[in-house]
Amino acid sequence: MLLAVSGTMAGDIEAGEVKAILCAACHGHNGISINNNWPNLAGQKEAYIVKQLKDFRDGRRSGEVMPETAQSLSDEDIEDLAAYYSSLDPNRH
Ligand code: HEC
């Protein structure tokens, strides 16, 4: 694997892909969601995804479904998921 380490983050793209099975029902298999209520994640900045997931989990951001979904995620899960989604091409559906 390439050294895709930026700052203090060291998410594992392949581990994130496996964990993303939980998320694909809403955010799509390529990180492109199937409707306008669920945001696309493909190509989103890794640091942004990490922050949003921690904010949902730790109660700093509210939402319809994500606060509950994020409860089960560890910091490592979040970093792996962020690495995976940020690696996807937002133009490939
Ligand atoms: C049941 C549908 C559903 C599932 C499953 C789901 N999400 Fe979401 N996600 C949403 C919705 C809806 C939002 C918008 C915020 C809200 O309403 O909670 C969102 C928002 C987000 C955001 C913020 C996007 C932004 O641009 O700010 C991230 C990041 C995210 N989800 C990641 C995940 C990850 C990672 C998983 C799997 C662990 C996951 N989601 C599972 C529906 C879902």
Domain boundaries, the chain: 13-87
First-to-last alpha carbon distance for the chain, in angstroms, is: 24
Dist. CA 66 → ligand 1 center (Å): 5
Report the distance separating Cα 40 and Cα 29, nearest Å: 10
CA distance 28 to 57: 21
Residue-level pLDDT at 92: 73
Q: How far apart are CA 58 and CA 42, in angstroms?
A: 23
CATH architecture of 13-87: Orthogonal Bundle (1.10)
| Rounded-to-integer distance, Cα 66 and Cα 60, Å | 12
Q: How confident is the model at residue 4 (pLDDT cuts 50, 70, 90)?
A: low
Q: For ligand 1, say whether the CB of 26 is within 6 Å of any of its atoms.
A: yes
- Summarised one tens digit per residue, pLDDT across range 17-71 is 999 999 999 999 899 998 999 999 999 999 999 999 999 999 999 999 999 999 9
pTM assigned to the model: 0.91
Structure tokens at 28: 């799509």
Query: Does ligand 1 come within 6 angstroms of the Cβ of 25?
Result: yes
Residues 65-86 have pLDDT tens digits of: 999 999 999 999 999 999 999 9
